[in-house]
Structure 1
Amino acid sequence: MNHKTLTIAAAILLAGCQSSAGIEKNRPQSTSHESQSVYEIQFASAKRFNDAMRQLHDDSVQYCRANRSLEQVKAAWRQGMESWMHLQGQERGPATALEQNWNIQFWPDKKNTTGRKMAAATKVDSWDMASVQSQSVTVQGLGSVEWLLYDTASTISVGGNKECSLLAAVTKSLVDRSNTIVEAWRINPWSELDTKAWHAEYLAMLSNQLDYSMKKLSRPLAKIGSPRPYFSESWRSNSSLSNLKENIIAMQSLYLAQGEGLDDILRAEGEVALADNILHQFEDTLEAWPEESSLFEMLQTKEGYRTALAQFNKLEQLKYLINEEASIKLGVVIGFNATDGD
């Protein structure tokens, strides 16, 4: 074998190693722990969110170069929000991933802080990722992108250069934050827990996400006869209800966890009726979900208010089945979470 042949062989071997490394980087950690199926769902959700942020940034930059339409950027933002719903509000998992939550999304925005901060930010001539990340979380996340794309005060649709600079910087920051999240999820954070501790973490994660989702309805519903539609998540883009539906789909996926989730755990404990009730509650809630995508619009009428309240009641029943029935059957105490007292 001559020198040239050796060089080619070495190059092929190196390329193979790099390819294997790339494949491994896109895979979750492999463990025999009982949390593995839930963990794999979480890793896939983190990876999907990361991919969505990369697409959003690319479409944003290309829009500002006149190579994409604003509708394409909006579609990428909606896909990004949809993917975020699968991680939103769980408050369980790697600490370095959870630390990014406020940087990804500032909500609830009780005093329209996003609107005021973004209006001020668009007066700055030029932005980069570092300058965005030094600002308030209201300028950094998905809500700020929504403001740029949908708010009537934004001039991005008519070629606002300042808005374009800010859009590119914010979406690049979101890529950076999502990189941190997916990297954190490459290791199963629960692999050392015993069964009881794992069940406690698992139930708490489902409970936290459900509580957070319910607040996305209860805050805008407020008092009967006095709704607060501006408290709706993503009210500018009229996508609050579609976001919430995605939350429920995410929770249902975690509940089933490819046949190794809470549904299977309850059945193994002989709690078949309870498992059936929870599964049917998920299915009934999704089947009866309103076709409208905007909670803001729905709350403008009495009929719409009643429809939204009915969805809240379905989630309240689901909360009872998980927080009370399932936790008692498994001997798990669900404590306070990050949304309590909010």
Structure 2
Amino acid sequence: MFRPRLLLTSLAIALGACSPQDPQATTSAALAQQVILPAYGRWVDADRALASSALAFCQGKEDLAKARADFVAAQKAWAELQPLLIGPLAEGNRAWQIQFYPDKKNLVARQVEQLLNDNPQIDPAGLAKSSVVVQGLTAYEYILFDAKIDLADAATKARYCPLLEAIGAHQQALAEDILTRWKADNGTLAQMSKFPNARYADAHEAIAEMLRVQVTGLDLLKKKLGTPLGRQSKGIPQPFQAENWRSDTSLASLESSLNGAEALWKGTDGKGLRGLLPSEQKELAGKIDAAYAEVHGKFAALKQPLGDLLKDDAGIKQLNDLYDSLNTVHRLHETDLAKALGVQLGFNANDGD
């Protein structure tokens, strides 16, 4: 007489084993493995190329144009990663070692010159003990692109090359260490793939952190455009407050960061934040898709560097239109998407900047 109960129990266990996994757990693991980890991998590859490029340039095996192109590639890889700063790169002020921005008082130029005056043959070990201001891509950009530095002059090149090589080596070592930590047993990849763990009590916490980091990255995008536009200085443009103003790659960096944020939204094979929206939120999904498309269209319409666009009213209008489009993407994520996913965003890391 106990057989029916036994049969029902066995059936329940079987159904439980076959039931679909928590969609948030599936999405978290997919985004970690298919979106975030590959972006970290591209960053490591770009920094390895940067370190090799510094050596080749300083040994006369590579010209300045190639060295500059390798810097731009490394900067774009880093920019793509900024809306994906989950795990060790978001801790211990490591991001400051990669890029010192904003540089409101031209500290990079002043500290680079002071460092080379004090330590002309700086090496990676010495650089690791120095200020973050001189350790990263902003200092690298200063050496390669500043108008006052003539690297065609042999003596000038000899002065700056030790630091250029040290920065390249420092960036490679930092990137490789972060990737190793990500992939380690119980590292960030594992923590975002199986729950519960020491970092997340459940998958919803992981999804919430991804959305927070993405929203913070989108907000930072607005600030990186709004500051040179003069939105914090009574409408007076501040071109030297732009990211990457020396290399004229400000807009390329901004779009790379947008791509990083959009990758979290879309995911791979539909396993992104978008895929977590219930069917009744189809209209919101369409709005966010359209908002991203609009921003990309506005980027594509910009035919001049940011510094040139800031010189006339027509360019400033284009940039303000771009800002408004970025603001739409940011607000849709910060308010509508967060509410739909049941995420309390709380403190923004950019607050007070």
TM-score by length of structure 2 reads 0.83
* 1:257 to 2:254 alignment: no
Q: Does 1:74 align with 2:68?
A: yes
1:221 to 214, 224, 229: 229
Which residue of structure 2 aligns with residue 320 of structure 1? 331
Distance of 2:152 and 2:272 partners within structure 1: 45
Contact (CA 8 Å) 1:132, 1:140: kept in 2 or not? yes
Given that residues 56 and 77 in structure 1 are in contact (C-alpha distance below 8 angstroms), is that contact kept between their aligned partners in structure 2?
yes
In 1: Cα distance, 2:290 partner to 2:261 partner? 13
1:305 CA drift (Å): 1.2
Q: Note closer, same or farther for the CA distance 1:205–1:97 as it changes in structure 2 (3 Å cut).
A: closer
Equivalent residues in 2 for 1:286-301 (5 A)?
286-289=296-299, 290-292=301-303, 294-301=305-312
Q: 2:27 aligns with which of 28, 34, 40?
A: 34
The partner residue of 2:212 within 184, 204, 211 is 204
**Matched residue pairs, number?**
309
Does the C-alpha gap of structure 1 residues 277 and 208 become closer, same or farther in structure 2, counting only changes over 3 Å?
same
CA contact (8 A) 2:251 2:305 kept: yes
| Superposition deviation, residue 269 in structure 1 | 4.7
CA distances 1:163-206 after superposition (whole Å, capped 9, x unpaired): 01110011101111111221122131323342432331121121
In the aligned structure 1, how far is the partner of 2:109 from the partner of 2:168? 18
Structure 1: 5+ residue stretches without partners: 1-31
Shift of 1:89: 5.1
Distance in 2 separating the partners of 1:225 and 1:205: 29
8 Å Cα contact 2:84/2:210 also seen in 1: no
**Map 1:14-93 → 2, pairs under 5 A:** 33-40=26-33, 41-88=35-82, 90-91=84-85, 93=86
Aligned equivalent of 1:26: none
8 Å contact from structure 1 (residues 155, 163) kept in 2: no
Counterpart of 1:185 (choices 175, 182, 187) is: 182
Q: Which residue of 1 aligns with 2:10?
A: none
- Percent sequence identity over aligned pairs: 28
Amino acid at match of 1:263: R
1:336 aligns with 2:333: no
**Does 2:149 match 1:140?**
no
Deviates most, 110-119 or 197-206 = 197-206
**1:314 offset after TM fit, Å?**
0.4
Deviation at 1:238, TM superposition (A): 0.5
Question: RMSD across aligned C-alpha pairs, in angstroms?
Answer: 1.7
Question: Does residue 243 of structure 2 align to residue 233 of structure 1?
Answer: yes
- Decide whether the 8 Å contact of 2:39 with 2:81 is kept in 1: yes
CA distance in 2, matches of 1:307, 1:291: 8
Match of 1:104 in 2: 98
**Quick check: 1:229–1:299 contact (8 Å CA) kept in 2?**
yes
Q: Is the 8 A contact 2:88 2:182 kept in 1?
A: no
Per the normalisation by structure 1, the TM-score is 0.86
- Could you list the runs of 5+ residues in structure 2 that have no partner in the other structure? 1-24
- Supply the distance in 1 between the matched residues of 2:175 and 2:239 (Cα, whole angstroms): 29
Corresponding residue of 1:164? 161
| Residues 261-312 of structure 1: per-residue CA shift (max 9 Å, x gap) | 111111x352111001101110111022143462222111111111111111
Q: What do the CA deviations read for 1:294-334 (whole angstroms, capped 9, x no partner)?
A: 22221111111111111110011111211111111222111
CA contact under 8 A between 1:119 and 1:153: conserved in structure 2? no
Query: Equivalents in 2 of 1:138, 1:282: separation in Å?
Result: 33
Deviation at 1:157, TM superposition (A): 3.3
Further displaced range: 180-189 or 249-258: 180-189
Partner of 2:123: 128
Please say which structure displays the higher CA radius of gyration: 2
